[in-house]
Structures are given as structure tokens and as C-alpha cells.
Structure 1
Amino acid sequence: MFTGKTNIATGFLFLTMLMLCDFSLIFLRDFTPGKEQWLAGSAFGKHFEPRLAHAHGNLFALINIAVGLVLLRLPVTAVSTRLISGLALAGMLMPLGIFLEVLFGASAIFVLGGGLAMVLSMGCLAFTAWQAGIRP
């Protein structure tokens, strides 16, 4: 189920959703009545965390695209591919968890779990790439 193709498609879908989020943030910043008040509160507080989620979301989406491309080209076992792919996809819980915290007051467990999954994914991918018999 988890393959490099899944990571690529999910990464691009996540980028698309974050672009929509970005357009709404630009609208709030530039075109709404009371934009001065919105800007004054954007450095810290309730507007800072969505920007943090937006930045991490874009990064993790691009990482998933890169992971997908590497997994499609790297001569690795299906078990390693599924593990790395699944962990990278689970890493997307970090930015989603930040949004859930802001919008619904959810626990930070999604943020921590997603961050840990992404770190483990990168470590497993590094180890797998090192073990693969790749020649220049």
C-alpha cells in the first residue's frame, strides 16, 4: 500500500492544500477590514502557529515527494519501501497537528508523533541508501 508513488501524490496534494491556506493568509493580511490589527497580532500569538504549520507542511510535502522519487529508483526491498514510505507519510501529522491545536485545541501528540515519524523515516532512508548497492 505504501509506495514511492503514494508519497509523490500525497506530497503534491499536501502542497495544493497549503497553497489554498496561503491564499487565505494573504487575503487576511492584505484585503480584510482591520488588517492592521491582524498584522499586529501576526508576529506572535494565534497567527504565528498557522504560519509555522504552513512552513513545516510545505517542507514535509517536498520531503515526501523526494522520498517517493528516491524509493522508486533505489533498489530496496518492499518491506523497507513500505516502512520508509509509511513513516514519511505519518510525518505529515506534524503540520496537521499544529493546525488541529490552533483550530480545535487538540493535544500536541500529533505534532510530536509526526515529527518523530519524519526523523525516523529520514534515518531509515539514509541507512537503506547506504546499504543499497549503488554505483556511480
Structure 2
Amino acid sequence: MLTGKTNVVTVFAFLTLFMLYGFALIFLRDFAPGNERWIADYSVGMHLESRLAHIHGNQFALLNIVVGLALLRAPNTPTGRRISGLTLLGLLMPLGILAEALFGAPPIFVMAGGISMVAAMIWTTAHVWQTETFH
């Protein structure tokens, strides 16, 4: 069953992976053989998409933690469980960006994740506002 706890626990692992990915990007830029080429191509193509995936992965992980903590403070309802799932689906965006950059995947996952996260933020706002009992 999806709850705020699921969001918090899942995205701590997700956040860790994308932080490690960030360290890999730093290594490629600063220390890897042929890093001059990496620096020259830093703002285009795969390099830009790699950085976008890193940034959105960390941002969406933090959003999941915030939503998860908010849901843990609200009564456990079907609406809260749906918000939890929708927020977790938002993680498709950074994974989709990474899949696009590495494997040439179509942008459907990026769009689905982005739409899910925006919808989750709107729904979370309304849900928390309407919740009378906030422990």
C-alpha cells in the first residue's frame, strides 16, 4: 500500500543514486581521460541531458520527501495513497531524460513523469488544505 512512508523511503535510495550519478558527471568533466572533449560539449546534446537528469532526479526526490512527510501528517486516506503513487510516478521524468540521453528512448516517460509530478503537487496542495486533522 502506498503511503507517505513509501515516498520517503523510496526516494532516499533514488536521491542517493542520482547523487552518485552527479559524482560520475564531475569525474567525467574534471578527471576522466579526454575530459577536454567533455568540457567542449558541456552545454549540448547528451551532456546537457545528463545534467538535466541529475538535477531533476534530485529535485523530484526532494519533492517526494516533502510530499511523503506531509502525507504522514495527514490522515491515511485513499486520496493520500493516490497522491503518493502519482508523486512516485513523477520519478519517470528524470529516468526518462536519462534513458533519452543514454539509449535514445522516446520522450514519453519524460512527459508522463512531468505531468504526474505537476498533478501531484496540485492535488497535494488541495488535499493538505482540506485536511482538518493534521497531526
Q: TM (normalized to structure 1)?
A: 0.94
Contact 2:46 2:102 in 1 (8 A): no
1:95 aligns with 2:94: yes
Deviations 1:73-132, CA, capped at 9 Å, x for gaps: 023x52011110000000000000001111111111100000000011111111111111
The amino acid of 1:93's aligned partner reads: L
Equivalence for 2:34: 34
Instruction: Flag as ranges the 4+ runs of structure 1 deviating above 3 A.
Output: none
Which moved further from structure 2: 89-98 or 100-109?
A: 100-109
The amino acid of 1:32's aligned partner reads: A
After TM superposition, the structure 1 = structure 2 runs for residues 1-136 of structure 1, keeping only pairs within 5 Å, are: 1-75=1-75, 77-133=76-132
Identity value in percent: 57
| Aligned-CA RMSD value | 1.2
Q: Give the gaps of 5 or more residues in structure 2.
A: none
Distance 2:40 2:133 in 1: 52
What SS does the aligned partner of 1:46 have? helix
The amino acid of 2:114's aligned partner reads: G
The amino acid of 1:128's aligned partner reads: H
The amino acid of 2:81's aligned partner reads: R
Tell me the CA shift for residue 47 of structure 1.
0.4
Deviations 1:5-36, CA, capped at 9 Å, x for gaps: 11001111111101110111111111112211
Distance 1:54 1:84 in 2: 24
Q: TM (normalized to structure 2)?
A: 0.95
Q: Give the gaps of 5 or more residues in structure 1.
A: none
The amino acid of 2:87's aligned partner reads: A
Deviations 1:17-67, CA, capped at 9 Å, x for gaps: 011101111111111122111101011122000100110110000000011
User: Paired residues, what number?
Assistant: 134
